[in-house]
């Protein structure tokens, strides 16, 4: 099991160290936490400056950003594999009511959840901090439980553990020690654990109880709030198509929905035009309807983002025209569920963002380092958890992540690079513009009897160059 830990008190905080120690036996732990106390940072991303990741002497990674940045960076860039769970804490002081809006501890878990990963925020309810070990143990029991009963949906838990000895805690079913002492310090006030008071993602009350989290009466108990346990989103590992719902939710939180020429209506019109131009794949069209293309171009060009044209993105490169993106993805997908996909030529990141909505795991390689950084910045606010960007020469493909169900090359090559042939899975499809002055979109399929090449439309792409830029 892969466990990502974070907090809002900073990487040196005792609560984090205890959490790491307590969960150590359960799987592979990575800690990515803020470099200083960022309590009250809420679910905010740093978009106005680059972030730096450093490693402390004890192996924890720390970032000069918010708790949300930490989880976001870890999931979308630092970690080789998606974590199975995100745990944030242990915060000193309960997070209840309004606190859950401002808390950085809860925000780190929220970020995990938004990226499609089950996530838990853990706080110690008290001011003394005398019993961190109790909260650490409750956290371990929860994680163990997730390990034994993997969730079918991402879930966000906000857990507040009373600052008392573990043996005096009782009541969250399945973990209550058999010989738990009765009574004790009395009820801790509030009613966050009452299932009928739990709110879902949109702030509506959610009725009913969930089996397995019922609380026994008359005992001191950790407070467990299921924010959004019933959201309709697919888990990270099962995102074929269903990722649409997940990202829709994430995007609706982002301020980039646009107005006028950059609005959803402009995107709808673009999709209607793509349909008229012959694009039939519903999943591709839906993905293009959802991804805000205007975020990937310079502000001065944003009003032209939904026209059917390539636009400059700097470094003598262009964002491909919508029809080219749609057509390539339609050919690459061919109606299949795509598992692993490689894109060569990240550019501003638009094509990768669209691909991430139609494939389970996407890798994208760009040779120009500053362009890749720009793509990262463009993509950050979209919170895409299943996309890995790499700096390299796409002529080599990405052997460490091969084989791929599909490879999409967004630049024209004089000939098909042999490494790309080799990295195609059986049944895989490679779509690449081939040619120098006149280019043809070319499909290469790896069939049981070898490679089959089909020439498709005449196209116009920037050249595929050699080496890193
Ligand atoms: N996918 C982008 C298209 C960008 S244009 C989009 O959505 O709009 C093509 C990109 O391919 C450029 O950014 C260019 O720098 C990159 N490129 C060219 N040769 C490359 C190579 N050998 N390896 C990786 N990227 C390459």
- pLDDT tens digits, 415-449: 999 999 999 999 999 999 999 989 999 999 999 99
Which atom, in ligand 1's list, is nearest to the CA of 318?
5
Residue 333 has pLDDT above 60, yes or no: yes
φ/ψ of 14, rounded to 5, equals -60, -35
Nearest CA to ligand 1 atom 10: 345
Residue 213 has pLDDT above 90, yes or no: no
Residue 141's nearest CA partner among 168, 116, 106, 176 is 176
d(C-alpha 94, C-alpha 163), whole Å: 10
Mean pLDDT over residues 248-255, rounded?
A: 38
Residue 225 has pLDDT above 70, yes or no: no
Residue 219 has pLDDT above 70, yes or no: no
Residue 384 has pLDDT above 60, yes or no: yes
Mean pLDDT over residues 223-246, rounded?
A: 37
Of all residues in the chain, the percent with pLDDT exceeding 90 is 67
Q: Measured in angstroms, how far is the CA atom of residue 287 from the centroid of ligand 1? A: 20
d(C-alpha 462, C-alpha 367), whole Å: 13
Does residue 216 carry a catalytic annotation?
A: no
Output DSSP code: residue 76: I
Q: Measured in angstroms, how far is the CA atom of residue 51 from the centroid of ligand 1? A: 24
d(C-alpha 196, C-alpha 218), whole Å: 18
Nearest CA to ligand 1 atom 2: 347
Mean pLDDT over residues 204-226, rounded?
A: 37
More confidently predicted of 387 and 241? 387
d(C-alpha 360, C-alpha 344), whole Å: 17
Confidence (pLDDT) at 30: 96
Mean pLDDT over residues 256-277, rounded?
A: 83
Q: Measured in angstroms, how far is the CA atom of residue 344 from the centroid of ligand 1? A: 6
Q: Measured in angstroms, how far is the CA atom of residue 85 from the centroid of ligand 1? A: 33
Whether 430 contacts 413, CB under 8 Å = no
**Mutate which of 315, 411, 419 to test ligand 1's pocket (most atoms within 8 Å of Cβ)?**
411
Confidence (pLDDT) at 128: 84
- Look over the chain and give the mean of its residue pLDDT values, rounded to a whole number: 83
Provide the pLDDT confidence category of residue 155 given band limits of 50, 70 and 90: confident
Nearest CA to ligand 1 atom 26: 345
Whether 59 contacts 78, CB under 8 Å = no
Residue 16's nearest CA partner among 158, 143, 132 is 132
Q: Measured in angstroms, how far is the CA atom of residue 303 from the centroid of ligand 1? A: 23
Which atom, in ligand 1's list, is nearest to the CA of 467?
22
Confidence (pLDDT) at 45: 92
Alpha helices in 2-79 (DSSP H): 14-23, 67-73
Which atom, in ligand 1's list, is nearest to the CA of 347?
13
**Mutate which of 367, 390, 415, 460 to test ligand 1's pocket (most atoms within 8 Å of Cβ)?**
367
Residue 246 has pLDDT above 50, yes or no: no
Confidence (pLDDT) at 250: 39
Catalytic position from the list 320, 381, 449, 466: 320
Q: Measured in angstroms, how far is the CA atom of residue 468 from the centroid of ligand 1? A: 11
d(C-alpha 348, C-alpha 317), whole Å: 9
d(C-alpha 60, C-alpha 277), whole Å: 51
d(C-alpha 32, C-alpha 47), whole Å: 18
Confidence (pLDDT) at 343: 98
Residue 216 has pLDDT above 60, yes or no: no
Which atom, in ligand 1's list, is nearest to the CA of 354?
7
Which atom, in ligand 1's list, is nearest to the CA of 345?
11
Q: Which two tokens stand for residue 78?
A: 């630092």
Q: Which of 219-228, 347-356, 397-406 has the lowest mean pLDDT?
A: 219-228
Residue 66 has pLDDT above 90, yes or no: yes
Q: Measured in angstroms, how far is the CA atom of residue 463 from the centroid of ligand 1? A: 8
Residue 245 has pLDDT above 60, yes or no: no
Mean pLDDT over residues 323-346, rounded?
A: 97
Confidence (pLDDT) at 202: 34
Provide the pLDDT confidence category of residue 253 given band limits of 50, 70 and 90: very low
Q: Measured in angstroms, how far is the CA atom of residue 349 from the centroid of ligand 1? A: 9
Q: Which two tokens stand for residue 211?
A: 């089996």
**Mutate which of 287, 366, 431 to test ligand 1's pocket (most atoms within 8 Å of Cβ)?**
366
Residue 318's nearest CA partner among 290, 340, 343, 351 is 351
Nearest CA to ligand 1 atom 17: 345
Pocket of ligand 1 (CB under 6 A): 317-320, 344-348, 350-351, 365-368, 371, 393-395, 410-411, 462, 464-465
Nearest CA to ligand 1 atom 18: 464
Of all residues in the chain, the percent with pLDDT exceeding 70 is 80
């Amino acid at each position: 099991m892969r466990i990502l830990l974070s907090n809002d008190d900073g990487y040196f905080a005792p609560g984090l160290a205890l959490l790491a120690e307590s969960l150590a036996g359960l799987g592979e732990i990575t800690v990515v936490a803020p470099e200083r106390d960022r309590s009250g940072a809420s679910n905010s991303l740093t978009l106005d400056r680059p972030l730096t990741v450093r490693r402390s002497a004890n192996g924890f990674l720390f970032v000069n950003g918010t708790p949300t940045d930490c989880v976001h960076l870890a999931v979308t860039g630092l970690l080789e594999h998606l974590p199975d769970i995100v745990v944030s804490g242990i915060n000193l002081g309960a997070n209840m009511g309004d606190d859950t809006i401002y808390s950085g501890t809860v925000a780190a878990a929220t970020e995990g959840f938004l990226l499609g990963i089950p996530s838990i925020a853990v706080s110690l309810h008290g001011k003394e901090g005398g019993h961190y070990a109790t909260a650490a143990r409750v956290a371990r029991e929860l994680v163990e439980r997730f390990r034994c009963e993997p969730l079918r949906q991402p879930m966000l838990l906000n857990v507040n553990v009373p600052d008392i000895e573990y043996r005096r805690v009782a009541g969250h079913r399945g973990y209550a020690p058999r010989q738990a002492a009765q009574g004790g310090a009395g009820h801790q006030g509030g009613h966050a654990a009452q299932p009928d008071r739990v709110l879902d993602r949109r702030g509506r009350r959610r009725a009913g109880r969930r089996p397995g989290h019922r609380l026994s009466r008359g005992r001191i108990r950790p407070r467990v709030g299921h924010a959004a346990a019933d959201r309709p989103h697919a888990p990270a590992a099962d995102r074929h198509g269903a990722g649409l719902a997940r990202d829709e939710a994430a995007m609706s939180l982002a301020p980039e929905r646009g107005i006028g020429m950059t609005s959803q209506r402009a995107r709808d019109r673009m999709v209607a035009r793509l349909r008229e131009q012959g694009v039939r794949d519903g999943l591709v069209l839906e993905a293009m309807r959802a991804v805000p293309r205007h975020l990937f171009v310079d502000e001065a060009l944003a009003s032209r983002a939904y026209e059917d044209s390539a636009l400059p993105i700097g470094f003598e490169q262009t964002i491909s025209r919508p029809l080219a993106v749609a057509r390539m993805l339609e050919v690459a997908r061919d109606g299949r569920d795509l598992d692993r996909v490689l894109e060569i030529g990240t550019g501003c990141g638009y094509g990768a963002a669209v691909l991430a909505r139609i494939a389970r795991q996407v890798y994208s390689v760009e040779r120009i380092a500053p362009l890749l950084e720009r793509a990262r910045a463009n993509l950050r606010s979209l919170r895409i958890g299943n996309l890995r960007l790499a700096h390299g020469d796409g002529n080599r493909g990405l052997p460490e992540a091969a084989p791929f169900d599909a490879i999409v090359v967004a630049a024209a090559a004089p000939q098909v690079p042999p490494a790309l042939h080799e990295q195609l899975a059986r049944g895989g499809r490679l779509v690449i513009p081939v040619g120098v002055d006149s280019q043809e979109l070319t499909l290469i399929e790896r069939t049981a009897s070898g490679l089959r090449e089909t020439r498709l439309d005449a196209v116009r792409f920037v050249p595929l160059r050699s080496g890193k830029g």
